Chains A and B, each alone.
Chain A
Amino acid sequence: MRIAGVALLVALAGLSTGCAATAVKPWDRDLLAKKQMRLIHQPMLNAVDDHVYFSKEGSTGGMDAGGGGCGCN
């Protein structure tokens, strides 16, 4: 856990400081506007995967605020 916390802090420091100085201009977001650049770029496949791993592994979690809902065997 401690390692994860430290890693997160480092990541956030990067997110919030140094990089901000060179803000990406609105007209420079052509690549970011592509479908494949969305962080969840294949939502349907992602949902299928969540369901599979939820029922086959002991942990779960992610971006969705949805609960469980499967008494999978």
Chain B
Amino acid sequence: MQLAGPPRTSSVRSRLRVAACLLLASGVPVLAHADGAPINTLDVTTLLYGEKDRARVIEPNVRVTRIYPDGQSFSGQLGIDVITGASPSGALPSGSVQTTTTPSGNRTSSEQGATPLTSFQDLRVSFDGDWTRPFLRAFTSTLGLRVSREKDYRSVGANAKLSVDLMNKLTILTGGLGFNHDQVDPVGGTHGGLGDGTVIPGRGVNPKEVHTAVLGVSRIITRRWIMAVNGSRTSEGGYLTDPYKVISLMDGESGLTVGQVTEQRPSTRVRKDILTTAAYHLEEDVIHASYRYYWDDWGVKSSTADVKYRSEVDPDAHVYVEPHLRYYTQTPADFFTFGFVQGAALPAYATSDYRLGPLRSVTLGATVGFELSGYPGEWTVRAEYIRQYGDASKANVTGVQKQFELFPAVNIGTVVIGYSLDF
């Protein structure tokens, strides 16, 4: 273009007062029909999840979002999880075939040297609703409600978030608070911790409360690069023990399991994390990368690195492939133990749940996105492989236990099919 005219009139920089616009922050495109009617989006995903020899999950989710021309939006999501299978009870492999009955009436059995599993099945139904509203040109508020229910667990929660655009939306600051009230109602009753599983008489449901605060800043760095830093603090109080997990007692010399006690976790937990995320636009493709550092007062510290590379295979037909790599590593909780020697004094808190142990997990997968010509909507199909493994080399076990694989790798496959339609 040629810009005509003398320099005096060629720029009105710093003289015009132009108010900030309330719509279209870079990361928050607002959609609407040209005639000003609200636009609706339907999102459906179905997760198929399977662990080798363990749990299976089918989880369909349906979300409907309605966006009004003024930027206000409502959305609601309904989800159902159907879970069947088995998970490790926490017990050590026995020296012989072992059968025990859990408080929930489930039967636990295991081959000699194999990790004992507890079978279970559950149905979880969840609903959440969100209301987002831009106001005063630079602000956006979001209010959310969520409820979920399963056989032995109920949860009701609310959260509020406030964002403000600064410096022509180069920077967005977000703060939020969340609250959850949960009720744990173990099948078969609540047992005392570090005991033989005897149910505490008259004990009703066990409450659990969760408070979360988040603070974040996102920033446009260049035309191709946006990044954000978020910190969060969550404090949990109440019944945080897993009612179905146990800890083995082993013979001090032979290492053979001679009994077990129920696990017991502290009744408070304070979790903190810092998450950095970035998106970078190459010529056509986009790289997403994130790193999270997490630490809590149970002694768990974790690092999570995540990279996705979205490659535009055919931009005109909206076909892309997005490989995904994630690496996770955590330190065990202070009170994690593989088992106790019979007769030894028990600590105040203990768990053998591998999820609080020295755990690593690697995720490898890819998403394919496409449209079917002649049909509306976008499809995504994602397949991933997750391998969880741990380090039992320093396990506090004796005798025969040293020959067993105390932290067998968990192999998980997931497939997610997604469909999204604007109407």
Contacts and interface: CB of A to CB of B under 8 A. Distances in A.
B274 A66 contact: no
Contacts of B170: 20, 23-24
B83 A45 contact: no
Given A57-B302, A57-B359, A73-B55, A41 B288 contact: yes
B247 interface: no
A19 B416 CA distance: 38
Contacts of B139: none
Contacts of A44: 43, 45, 61, 63, 418, 420
A26 B182 CA distance: 45
A66 B294 contact: no
B175 to A, nearest CB: 9
Contacts of B190: none
Nearest to A29: B26
Interface in A2-52: 4, 7-8, 11-12, 14-16, 19-20, 22-24, 26, 28-42, 44-45, 47-48, 51-52
B279 A37 contact: yes
Specify the main secondary structure of chain B where it touches its partner.
strand
Specify the main secondary structure of chain A where it touches its partner.
loop
Contacts, number: 226
A68 B59 CA distance: 17
A8 B274 contact: yes
A23 B168 contact: yes
A41 B229 contact: no
10 contacts: A1-B295, A15-B221, A24-B221, A32-B220, A33-B29, A41-B288, A51-B59, A52-B47, A65-B178, A66-B128
Interface of B: 24, 26-29, 43, 45, 47, 49, 55, 59, 61, 63, 83, 87, 118, 120, 122, 124, 126, 128, 144, 146, 148, 150, 152-153, 155, 157, 159-161, 167-170, 176-180, 182, 184, 210-214, 216-224, 226-230, 232, 234, 236, 244, 271-279, 281, 286, 288, 292-296, 300-302, 310, 320, 328, 330, 332-333, 355-357, 359, 361, 367, 380, 382, 386, 388, 410, 412, 414, 416, 418, 420
